[in-house]
Structure 1
């Protein structure tokens, strides 16, 4: 939780009462909930250098563009000065504040009956519409342009030995293949990059997406692969599927049926989705191991088993669980 000075600056910019704030989470950003009138809002505070404001402005500008063209997403609201961000400073600390309207609905795991073909198609249709719209998106001033996908920087020295080196070598192999892929307008553009089931709410069959702070320029099929990877992680157990691969193929068949209603995707890119799923699986290890101190005792059993299982599959020449599919 943050001190009153930072919160007061945000309140003065966006026009809310700090006494109404309720703490929600503190992971990549600090998030609070508040009500104003009869509406719910979320205050997001990102601890970043002031220069990073341009990057966040680029994110929320794109989100407003999508919402104004019919995408159900949490709308970023403006400050009294008509800006989409506010810089809040106190001593050496600097936070970039943004505020989003709340969204109706529940998460997918609140009701097991929600998890099925209808949701998968709607999810795909929403992403397809976003990709179609982004083809015409112009950020204007290039200083407000989001970053391009690039290979990961792995600076933790503990990740260059043993099993972690095996994972890293696999990541670098996939990244090399990705770097050589074409970047045409029909296949590459601004994507959410984290459109997983905990980043949207479901209300009467419609979904509202949020949490665009990972958005970047990448391949549309990569966005699909990320969604599929997370669907396998969190939803392949909901029914008695014989394997994660079987569930992944079922999910993608339904998802792509919705997707192509809104955006065309060539078969060559559909066939690359399993590659992007492998990329997401491997890169996730380096996300949660970023600050690992090299002490195996600080990893839980689930993490240790995931590393061992993944390394065994790589060394056996097998695709990762959930990625061994033909589309």
Structure 2
């Protein structure tokens, strides 16, 4: 990286890596990612970068890994007995939606974006169906299991713990065949891809959470992020109609690249619940890793309320939802 101007990227809450942009005149911009927490193994990192390279080489719109001078996708450095895993990626072309103030391409319908969002994901899932890993990433139940939930969720939240364990039991009974279960991004949202606002092309990055899971998880995650487009609408029926149209567009793009069984699509409410479970677990992990006192702010309290009371669709069409304070509920003690 000699001659590159290297600048730190501001970390987001709960972020687990150090990242830097690398710019040099006449050369493509790069991103360096340095990982140092002991919650992931070399096998995990190797599995991630190999999967990214596989996707890129087979035509998926992802930021590819840059091979090191030693010919490796991943370098490990030890300093003062601390291990660091270092990867370099080509920087995705364009901007994030947030950087563009959530405005899409001038003169182009937002439905193009919804369709493209599904299409890019569908291409990745189709490729995953033919993927045989050299280094295997972890599978959903390797992390989300009874022992981990009992350890992570405090006993002062017994109903939450009970509902999470019930959800796991339901998931354990689901089919995990080749067409429904494989490598997924597990954090596919507008914070993890760039959009070229000249062409509408989406380029995906940040596969740090990728794992073997149901493909429906990524689709449910897209649904939960779509609520932002209509979250201030007072009329719940209008919110419901918008979300149907939005998700139909996403599915149109998705199904232009890969098939998904209708029986899995019917499980959208179940997988939205799984997304909520992941969000709750992530919040507790962040508090634990940062050494913070356990507390439920308004956003976490909202998610817990939805889980405990079996409120579907993240409460978006339920009386719990408030357009004045979207996805917030009264704080609760732990």
Q: Same-fold call, TM > 0.5? A: yes
Counterpart-to-counterpart distance in 2, 1:295 and 1:97: 31
| Residue 35 of structure 1 pairs with residue 23 of structure 2 | yes
Tell me the equivalent position of 2:71.
82
Q: Is the 8 A contact 2:111 2:249 kept in 1?
A: yes
- Structure 1 residues 139 and 282, CA, compared in 2 at 3 Å: closer, same or farther? closer
Q: What is the CA deviation profile of residues 32-75 of structure 1, one whole-angstrom value per residue up to 9, with x for unaligned ones?
A: 11124421111001114598222111111111111112211111
**Structure 1 residue aligned with 2:188:** 195
Once the two structures are superposed, the pairs formed by residues 1-327 of structure 1 within 5 Å of their partners are 15-17=1-3, 20-26=5-11, 27-36=15-24, 37-48=26-37, 52-109=41-98, 110-114=100-104, 116-140=110-134, 144-150=135-141, 151-152=144-145, 153-154=148-149, 159-161=154-156, 164-203=157-196, 204-232=199-227, 234-237=228-231, 242=236, 245-290=240-285, 291=287, 299-304=296-301, 306=302, 309-310=305-306, 314-315=308-309, 317-319=310-312, 320-322=314-316
Q: Which stretches in structure 1 are left out of the alignment for 5+ residues?
A: 1-14
TM-aligned CA deviation for residue 154 of structure 1: 3.0
* Aligned 8 A contact 1:192 1:215 in 2: yes
Give, in whole Å, the separation in 1 of the partners of 2:304 and 2:181: 34
In 1, the alpha carbon distance for the partners of 2:67 and 2:259 equals 34
CA distance in 1, matches of 2:170, 2:58: 34
Work out the number of aligned pairs and report it: 298
The change in CA–CA distance for 1:68 and 1:42 in structure 2 (over 3 A counts) is same
Shift of 1:200: 0.8
Deviates more, 1:167-176 or 1:260-269: 167-176
SS in 2 for 1:31: strand
Task: Give 1:239 shift.
Answer: 6.6
Q: Distance in 2 between matches of 1:245 and 1:167?
A: 27
2:9 is paired with a residue of what secondary structure?
Answer: strand
Q: Distance in 1 between matches of 2:2 and 2:233?
A: 45
- CA RMSD for the aligned pairs? 2.7
- Report if aligned partners of 1:247, 1:322 keep a CA contact under 8 Å in 2: no
Question: Normalising to structure 1: TM-score of the pair?
Answer: 0.82
CA distance in 2, matches of 1:113, 1:74: 23
State the distance in 1 between where 2:168 and 2:40 align.
Answer: 28
Could you say if the C-alpha distance between residues 157 and 281 of structure 1 is closer, same or farther in structure 2, counting changes exceeding 3 Å?
closer
Aligned to 1:12: none
Q: Which has the higher helix share?
A: 1
Q: Secondary structure at the match of 1:213?
A: coil
Alignment TM-score, normalising by the size of structure 2: 0.80
1:231 positional shift: 2.5
Please state how far the C-alpha of 1:252 moved relative to its aligned partner.
1.5
